[in-house]
């Protein structure tokens, strides 16, 4: 019943997938998603920088069963973790991705601010 609208980039170089389903994972700037969370547990960059503690805090109450840790690798990061939220549905343009994982980035995804979410193909 909650929604957030972001500008997303379809990134052909993004290979992040959910380990259990092998489906693409959307990555978004955590701060931009406050509307999806109860006010008292909306993520901020400091919280998302420690995803294990964030999971412990958010995995109770209304988000129980929706949060998990997602391993990833990137340039300069051999083995990192992101807090991820299971969504009931997501659309990028006219493409309906259905239920998927949304990984919450503690940092901006771009210097210029042209987009605040990305998803692989």
Give the tokens for residue 114.
């042209």
Alpha carbon distance 96, 82 (integer Å): 23
Q: Encode pLDDT of 52-80 as tens digits.
A: 998 988 877 788 888 999 998 877 777 78
Cα gap 50→45, rounded to integer Å: 9
The candidate with the shortest Cα–Cα distance to 87, out of 119, 51, 110, 47, is 119
Residue 45: in which H helix or E strand, if any?
helix 45-48
Confirm whether pTM is higher than 0.85. Answer: yes
CA 9 to chain centre: 14
pLDDT digits (tens, 9 = 90+) for 96-110: 999 999 999 998 998
- Give the position of tokens 């109450």: 61
pLDDT above 90 for 7: yes
């Amino acid at each position: 019943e909650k929604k957030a609208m972001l500008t997303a980039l379809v990134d052909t170089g993004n290979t992040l997938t959910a380990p259990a389903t092998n489906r693409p994972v959307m990555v978004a700037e955590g701060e931009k998603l406050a509307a999806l969370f109860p006010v008292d547990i909306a993520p901020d960059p400091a919280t998302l920088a420690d995803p294990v503690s964030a999971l412990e805090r958010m995995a109770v109450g209304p988000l129980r069963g929706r949060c998990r840790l997602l391993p990833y690798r990137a340039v300069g990061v051999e083995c990192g973790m992101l807090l991820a939220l299971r969504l009931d549905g997501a659309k990028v343009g006219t493409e309906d991705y259905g239920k998927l994982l949304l990984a919450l980035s503690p940092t901006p995804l771009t210097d210029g601010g042209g987009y605040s979410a990305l998803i692989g193909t």
